[in-house]
Structure 1
Amino acid sequence: MKRIRVRNISWKDYGISVQTQRELKEFCFLYDEKKKRGNSQDLTDCKMIEEAARESSEELAPYLLKSVTDDLSYEYLEFDDTLGRIPVGKTDFYGYRRKFYACLLKKIV
């Protein structure tokens, strides 16, 4: 059986509409705010985001988390001062980011 590469899986393949993409992105943008508030529901939301990042790629989780919570592109993260150089190319990174959103959607629904 031929294995499909993550980079080749589209939003449509994951069954994620444009509207759902926007909602998931907005959910992630609130990560820092929720972390600061620290109430039980907010911390649960933060934990879901962190787990989805690890599920999509353990190695890329810190980069994915920073990308989705701060709305940062691959170009901005490629040579990150804190995390170091990102270990994958642009196309693969965006494939794993789509996978992250698919994992997050499963946790939310």
Structure 2
Amino acid sequence: MEVALISINLPQHDGCPGPDEDKYNCSRNFTGPLLNYFTCNNGYHTIHHMYPGMHWTAMIEAHERLVKPKMHPNLDQPNLLWYLFVTYALPGGRKMYDGSPYVMPVLEEARR
């Protein structure tokens, strides 16, 4: 289970600014009920970053009320498997959170 939670972090954060840059667009939210059943609503990832101690049963309502009105609509994805297929299997599928062409982040080591 730990590997699954760690592995989901790539698609949740890929192409998104860091939370210090934009707290509403720092992660993708996978809103499908099956995934969230098995991950205690970890698919609602933006609200998890904003309130890491929030009980998992309160995340959906808090996401709808506090995050969704202020985030880019591309960041709510209903199906993780479909998103993975479209983004990483199809040519040209990888994009920034706002739909613009993907830009590889520069690693700190490369800047030196």
TM-score computed with the length of structure 2 as normaliser: 0.30
Higher RCO structure (Cα 8 Å, ≥6 apart): 1
Greater helix fraction, Structure 1 or Structure 2? 1
